[in-house]
Structure 1
Amino acid sequence: MARLDVTEVFHGILFPGHLHTQDSLQRALEFPFQDTDILIVSYPKSGTTWMQEIVTLISSRGDPHLSHTVPNWTRAPWLEQYYCADFLKASSSGPRVLTSHLPHHLLGPALQASNARVIYVSRNPKDVLVSFYHFHKMANFLPEAGSFPEFLDKFLESKLHYGSWFDHIKGWTNQAAALNLLHVTYEEMSMDLRGTLDRVSSFLQRPLLEDELNNCVKHCSFSSMKDNKMINYSLVPGEIMDHSKGSFMRTGQIGDWKNMFTKEQNQRFDSVFNSKMHDCTLEFVWEEEEEKGESR
């Protein structure tokens, strides 16, 4: 199957040309945010789809109708992709939900003039790397993944599409105090989904009743999402995503990186991580069984 991996280079960062144009990327930087907007931001493969579903269900007070009938890329369009403006024009009334992979140094200035709510989603970068590697195999709009060691090198050298994971997370979380921002991790969603729903609903000022919360938990569990065609990207044509090469939603597990990394690769990753994140004050909790997690 022919690949569609045309690349756009924007401000030194690689983006898939299939979905992004210079004009659409520039429009994102100039987007007129409203105070009622909800913006979900993440580096790829960090739990974006999960958070889109959480926000949808909280907004509908646990009613799954919208999440079962409207694709998530329509409900929460990607700000930097070319179709976003048309989707927003066609959307119904109510707070707009937007999604972005853009780093803070590009998108942050557009947010300064508004009080839009930003939900930043992060994940253990080792799991991000493994998930992104498998996604490259099925996404025909991304370059060939190559071998895992080659892919690992590109990740650590910030040469993959969407730029540096390290710069992305530091850029957004360092600005949390200046923005109306809530930081949620993939691991929190996995280990305490109900607690995450409570945090997000409180942040969005949409407190839920007990039965509404129960419905949210039910419909945004990983197994429920994996079976939902509006979420699992199975509706995307085969020439764009080769579904014979994998599933968009694979395992949903934390710690899957241990099935891919060699001891030497793990040591190298930790060394680069510690070097690049030495000025980051975040404490990362990536393992359920560890008291403080794998942290810096």
Structure 2
Amino acid sequence: MTEEELYITYKGVYIPKMLHPPESLKYYEEFTFRPDDTVIVTYPKSGTTWMQETTSMIQSGGDLTTGLATPTFERVPWLEMFNFFSLNMEERPSPRLMATHYHYDMMPASFLEVKPKVIHVVRNPRDVFTSSYHFCDTANFLVKTASTGEYLDKFLNGQVPFGSWFDHVKGWMNVMEQYPSMSISYEEMKTDLKDSVFRLSQFMGTSLSSEAIEKIANHCEFNNMKQNRMSNYSEAPSGILDPSSFHRKGICGDWKNLLTVAQAEHFDDVYKNQMKDVKYKFVWD
């Protein structure tokens, strides 16, 4: 199926029709935030589910009960997703956890006014591209990939769901000082998950014992999440995606197994041009 059949253009970017019906977008636009909400901000395939699960377990103080009983996407729902308006978010006690793939300039009025907490997760865009490339063939709401080169052109030009990685990351990085915020990379979490759990807990205002940090880090390890039905999308509505392939490799540097030397060089040229004015030091630079 084509982009015209599977996607709609919303605020300038493609979004999948199946996941974002009009009623969910209307609810999102009118949603009222609270100052102590925490919103996880990611470009797709940057470690969103990993961060949703990690922050949920931090908020529980290391009690894994809900992590083994309730799907991640219900505990930390996407603001713009079709199930958001059915979860009675207004009735949830503070502090609430939410996630979004939206660009900063797509956020609703209440978010801009209230200024809740923001956790911005970034990942090497070469690996984001690689993960997205493979994911497209497992998700029924996405256009299937053709050649690597064709998808690379679409990715670098922002002609993929949620638009340009460059615009998304730069847009959020430019406003982080305006919010109670924390930036963390996928690569940092892979390098030292326990330290990442500790830092996230400090930002969220949750005091954790060393035992709780150890327990959360173990629960959120890739292989454990892959086997957990609550975090591997086995509980997702049928027909949306193949849960068995949702967690694929969970590694850094897999782009080297996909891109040719020429494609990698082209990617780097575009990256350097797009990010030349960004002062933030990313771990992959």
TM class by shorter-chain length?
over 0.9
For structure 1, the 5+ residue unaligned runs are: 287-294
**Counterpart in 2 of 1:130?**
130
CA distance in 2, matches of 1:40, 1:5: 29
1:7-44: CA deviation from partner (whole Å, max 9, x where unpaired) = 12111211000010244334323421101211111000
SS of the equivalent of 2:114 reads coil
| Amino acid corresponding to residue 285 of structure 1 in structure 2 | V
Structure 1 residues 4 and 206, CA gap change in structure 2 (3 angstroms) = farther
Task: Work out whether residues 80 and 100 of structure 2, in 8 Å CA contact, stay in contact via their aligned partners in 1.
Answer: yes
Name whichever of 108-117 and 141-150 sits farther off.
108-117
Counterpart among 267, 271, 274 of residue 273 in structure 1: 271
1:226 Cα deviation after fit: 0.8
Question: Cα offset for 1:4?
Answer: 11
Task: Work out whether residues 37 and 95 of structure 2, in 8 Å CA contact, stay in contact via their aligned partners in 1.
Answer: yes
In structure 2, the residue matched to 1:220 is 220
1:137 is paired with a residue whose SS is coil
Q: Does 1:254 find its partner at 2:252? A: yes
Q: Which residue of 1 aligns with 2:69?
A: 69
Q: CA deviation at 1:92?
A: 4.6
Identical aligned residues as a percent: 39
* Aligned 1:65-144 pairs, distance under 5 A: 65-89=65-89, 92-107=92-107, 109-144=109-144
TM-score of the aligned structures, taking structure 2 as reference length: 0.94
Give the conservation status (yes or no) of the 8 Å contact 2:28–2:108. Answer: no
Deviation at 1:273, TM superposition (A): 0.6
Shift of 1:52: 0.5
Distance in 2 of aligned mates of 1:90 and 1:232: 27
Contact 2:27/2:85 (<8 A) preserved: no
In the other structure, the counterpart of 1:169 is 169
Q: Following the alignment from structure 1 to structure 2, what is the Cα–Cα distance between the partners of residues 221 and 41?
A: 21
CA distance in 2, matches of 1:219, 1:134: 25
> CA separation of 1:5/1:122 partners in 2, compared to 1, >3 Å: closer, same or farther?
farther
Matched with 1:12 is 12
What letter is aligned with 2:54?
I
Change (3 A) 1:4 1:233: farther
Q: Can you give the 5+ residue segments of structure 2 that lack an aligned partner in the other structure?
A: none
The 8 Å contact of residues 4 and 240 in structure 1, kept in 2 or not, is answered as no
Change (3 A) 1:195 1:5: farther
C-alpha offsets along residues 160-205 of structure 1, whole Å, 9 cap, x if unaligned?
A: 0111100000000111111111111100110011111111100000
Q: Distance in 2 between matches of 1:109 and 1:188?
A: 32
Kindly provide the CA deviation profile for residues 129-173 of structure 1, in whole angstroms up to 9, marking residues without a partner as x: 010111100000111111111111100111001111000000001
Q: Runs of at least 4 residues of structure 1 off by over 6 A?
A: none
Asked if the contact 1:16–1:141 (Cα under 8 Å) also holds between the matched residues in 2, the reply is: yes
What secondary structure, in the 3-state scheme, does the structure 2 residue paired with 1:131 have? helix
Q: Aligned-pair distance for 1:115?
A: 4.0
* Cα offset, 1:104, TM superposition: 0.4
State which drifts further: 130-139 or 227-236.
227-236
Q: Residues of 2 paired with 1:89 and 1:102: CA distance?
A: 19
> Partner residue of 2:189?
189
Matched to 2:215, the amino acid is N
Partner of 1:292: none
| Matching residue's letter, 2:58 | I
Greater mean deviation of Cα atoms: 3-12 or 155-164: 3-12
Counterpart residue number, 2:235: 235
Q: TM-score when scaled to structure 1? A: 0.91
Query: Is residue 76–residue 98 contact of structure 2 (8 Å, CA) maintained in 1?
Result: yes
C-alpha contact (below 8 Å) 2:30/2:108 kept by paired residues: no
Tell me the amino acid that sits aligned with residue 153 of structure 1.
Answer: D
Equivalent pairs counted in the alignment come to 284
Structure 2 equivalent of residue 283 of structure 1: 281
